[in-house]
Amino acid sequence: MVLLGIMPIFTFALGTWQVERLKWKVNLIDELQEKLSQEPLVLPRRINTVAVADFAYRKVLVRGMWDHAHAILLGPRVHNGENGYHLVEPLVRTDGTTVIVNRGFISKAQAEKKAYLRDDGEVKVLGMLRTGHKRNYFTPDNHPEEGKWYWADIDAMARYSGGEAAGVQKR
């Protein structure tokens, strides 16, 4: 009898929670679409790392040269059934500052051949400003000294490459 009395209250609470969650999700999607529809920002010389979260998913424009010596293979990852990595590479800007750019997925074969080590000269990158990801409980520690990066620890990547703790996701 008590169970029959509790069930409607419990299901009402779950329904209310789902409606609140839906509102949150719709607002989040609207906010992201608004940020992505704005014109790209030219990334300033000095980046206020406290404000990076406010500008997450904003399109940014950066110009510079790839620092292949500090390239990071983040992974292993799988994309469309193929093993590989995310290539995360510092971009040394014309003013001498450095930002971390996730250049996207490369296959294991491309990584082994070091196909990304070509000199492109000065490049212009249109991307999105991103914050780091929280480490999953089961994800192992990164070992930068061994070149093993399992999760995107932007602060550690910035220290490794001498860059700013702000990441750009290449579009």
Output the pLDDT for position 51. Answer: 77
Rounded CA separation 14/65 (Å): 52
pTM for this predicted structure: 0.78
Output the pLDDT for position 159. Answer: 86
Output the pLDDT for position 171. Answer: 57
Output the pLDDT for position 129. Answer: 85
Whether residue 99 contacts residue 62, with contact meaning beta carbons closer than 8 Å, is answered with yes
| Per-residue confidence in pLDDT tens, the chain, 171 aa | 777 889 989 999 999 999 999 999 999 999 989 988 999 988 888 877 777 778 888 999 999 999 999 999 999 999 999 999 999 999 999 888 888 899 999 999 999 998 888 878 999 999 988 877 788 889 999 999 888 999 988 888 888 887 665 566 665
DSSP output for 79-134: ETTEEEEEEEEEEEETTS-EEEEEEEEEEHHHHHHTTT-----SEEEEEEEEPPPP
Using a CB cutoff of 8 Å and minimum separation of 24, what contacts does 77-82 make?
77/105, 79/105, 82/107, 82/108
Output the pLDDT for position 50. Answer: 75
Output the pLDDT for position 103. Answer: 93
Output the pLDDT for position 57. Answer: 86
